[in-house]
Every structure is written in structure tokens, then in C-alpha cells.
Structure 1
Amino acid sequence: MNNKDSEYKRSFVPKTLNESLKKINKNYAMKYGKLEYLILLKWSEIVGSFFAQHSEPEKIIRIKEKLNEFEETIYNNFLYVNVSPAAALEFEHFKDKIIEKINGYFGYKVITSIKFKQKLVNNLENHSIKKVKNKKKLSKNSEKIIKEDISNFKDEDLKNSILNLGLTINKEDT
């Protein structure tokens, strides 16, 4: 009496990268909410490079304000932003301008106020600078092997992406 045949058999079904990323983005959006997700995703585009380099949005708190004439609840959204201590005073000075940029990006009044919290902010740009300094040399043989492996690819963008990926992986392994 073995039930192996009646059990669900797992089979591999290839998925596109788009399908996989949709699931990841959906989970991320559910965790934070759509508004927070969009602000986190587009932060550098919304506030500009200087502000993005010295800050990161943390969360949005919604506080019930009142009921409108249609008996719908009106909320005030407060954005909490982690700011590096060196730039905190400048952020406080440009607080209204940042709120204006955020609301202008969305086209309506999304954020009522911003609360700043001084905290050391680690951005990706800082990490990439460190990686460039620790560059390792790749042997000509390794590079040649990678180029031979991708020589049959027809799509140039894919070929370049895989070449860069292979070179990066080999550099980290050596």
C-alpha cells in the first residue's frame, strides 16, 4: 500500500524573469503598501541625488483627521525619513520643498508632513565606491573561457550582460 503514485508529483515549469519579479514586487508592495512602495522605489527620482544620498524613507503613518461631506475618512500621511546626522539640519531647512516635490511627483497631496530621524544611512553608492577600490585582476584564460561560452548567443544585450556577470563572479572567486 504505497501512496507514492497518488501523491502530487513536482515538475519544473520554466518561468520568465518577469513572472518571478512580479511575485517579488507583489510581496514587497503588500508588506509596505502601494504608496510606501512607490516612494521607496522612486526616492532618488523624487527628491534628487543629494537628498537621496543622505536619506532613506522609513515608513508612512496615517492619522485620521476628519470626515468629509460624503462621510469618508480623511487621513493625514506623515512620512518618516532616516537622515544622516551631517545633513539633518539641511533636511529640516528644505522640509517644505521635499514635501512639495513628493506631492508634485504624485500629482496630489500625498504627504502632509515629514518627520526626520537622525540615523546613519548606508546607500548603495557608498558600497560601490568600496568595490571599485578592491578591484581584482582576472586571468586572460578565465576571460577567454567565458567569451567562448557565450559566443553562440545572438542577442548582444544578453551576451554583454552574461559576460559581465561571469567576469564579476570569477573576480569574486579569485
Structure 2
Amino acid sequence: MRPTRSRSASQIADVANSLIDPILAKRAGISTALLNAWPEIAGETYAEFSRPEKIAWPKRNGANEDGGFKPGTLTIACEGARVLFLTHAQDELIHRVNGFFGYVAIERVRVVQKPVQPLGGNHRPKPTLSPSETRDLEARLAGIESEALRKAIMRLGAGVMSEKRNKRR
């Protein structure tokens, strides 16, 4: 009799995350979901030169503790003189990180100055469009009221259009 095999395929990222998440949670208090979502959480302004390092949760003192949840401190690594900019935006980052978690998980942000390597190694170059392609895409998206949504769809459209152009070559 043959051993039965699962018919469903798993993505390698899901398998890797299931192995890495317990280690990250134990050592740094964070998950791969937070690391992967950091560019959306921090925004284009801060994501390139910052990275979440760890979340320090307050220690419980046994009898003195009321048993309630206490928010933690998020440590963010940041490059060079940009620490100042990130420090000024820490209230907004706290709000965004808590929005990501869906509850008040972070109370404070601690910024440490150190070199930051991009997550995931080498990134693809940003897609470039010709001026006519850019005008065409902007015309298609003119009806979208939300500036953030329009920019996101513009980035997506630029990526799709440049990918199609590169495949035709």
C-alpha cells in the first residue's frame, strides 16, 4: 500500500513563515507578517531606511499585576541622520502599527541608529513607463477620488504594463 500524500500544494513562503514565526515571536516578539507589511505600515517615506527590530512586552509582577494586557515598546532600526525624521513621526507609526494589529499593541517606539538592509535582499528596479503610457494610465485612473488608492493602483499598473512590455521583447 502506498503512503498517501496531501493533494494541496503549499507555498514555500507559508512553510518558511510557519517555521520562522515561533522563533521571531520568542526572540523579538514580532512576526514575519509585521516585517512583510512594514513598507505599507511605515509608508514610502520611512520604509526604505527603517525596519522593526523587536517588541518588548512589559514583565508581569505576579501579585501586583491586575491581569490586564499591557502594550509593548516597538524598537525600530533606522539609518543615520534619518532617526530624527522617524522620531518626529513616532505617534503616527504607533497608530499605524496598532491599526495593523487591530488593537493597542504598541505604547511607545524606541528608535535605534544602525544600518538597515532592505528586507528580502535585492529589490527589483522600479518600473518605468514612457510618457504616453503614464498619461494613458493617469487618464484611466482619473475617476478615483482617494489619492492613496490612486497612487497604489498607479504603482500596480506601472508594474503590470512594464512587465508586459518586457515579456514582448
TM category, shorter: 0.5 to 0.7
- Answer whether contact 2:74 2:106 (CA < 8 A) is retained: yes
1:36 to 2:30 alignment: yes
Partner of 1:48: 43
- Answer whether contact 2:71 2:104 (CA < 8 A) is retained: no
Q: What's the TM-score, normalizing by structure 2?
A: 0.58
Letter in 1 for 2:18: K
- Answer whether contact 2:75 2:112 (CA < 8 A) is retained: yes
Name which of 81, 99, 107 aligns with 2:94: 99
Query: Aligned partners of 2:55, 2:104: CA distance in 1, in Å?
Result: 14
Query: Aligned partners of 1:24, 1:124: CA distance in 2, in Å?
Result: 15
Say which SS state the counterpart of residue 75 (structure 1) adopts: coil
Listed as ranges, the gaps of 5+ residues in structure 1 are 1-10, 131-159, 165-174
- Answer whether contact 1:64 1:73 (CA < 8 A) is retained: no
Question: Residues 25 and 15 of structure 1: is their aligned pair in 2 closer, same or farther, counting only changes over 3 Å?
Answer: farther
- Answer whether contact 2:56 2:73 (CA < 8 A) is retained: yes
Letter in 2 for 1:54: F
Partner of 1:67: 65
Q: Percent identity?
A: 25
> In proportion to residue count, which structure has more strand?
1
Question: Residues 15 and 117 of structure 1: is their aligned pair in 2 closer, same or farther, counting only changes over 3 Å?
Answer: farther
1:60 CA displacement: 0.9
1:110 CA displacement: 1.0
Deviant stretches of 4+, over 4 Å: 13-17
Question: Residues 39 and 20 of structure 1: is their aligned pair in 2 closer, same or farther, counting only changes over 3 Å?
Answer: closer
Partner of 1:18: 10
1:14 CA displacement: 8.4
Root mean square deviation of aligned Cα: 3.5
Q: What's the TM-score, normalizing by structure 1?
A: 0.56
1:18 CA displacement: 1.4
Query: Aligned partners of 1:67, 1:61: CA distance in 2, in Å?
Result: 17
- 1:30-85 C-alpha deviation (Å, 9 max, x unpaired): 111296113212111112112111101111111136633xxx24333111110011
1:119 to 2:114 alignment: yes
Letter in 2 for 1:36: I
Listed as ranges, the gaps of 5+ residues in structure 2 are 126-162
Question: Residues 111 and 14 of structure 1: is their aligned pair in 2 closer, same or farther, counting only changes over 3 Å?
Answer: same
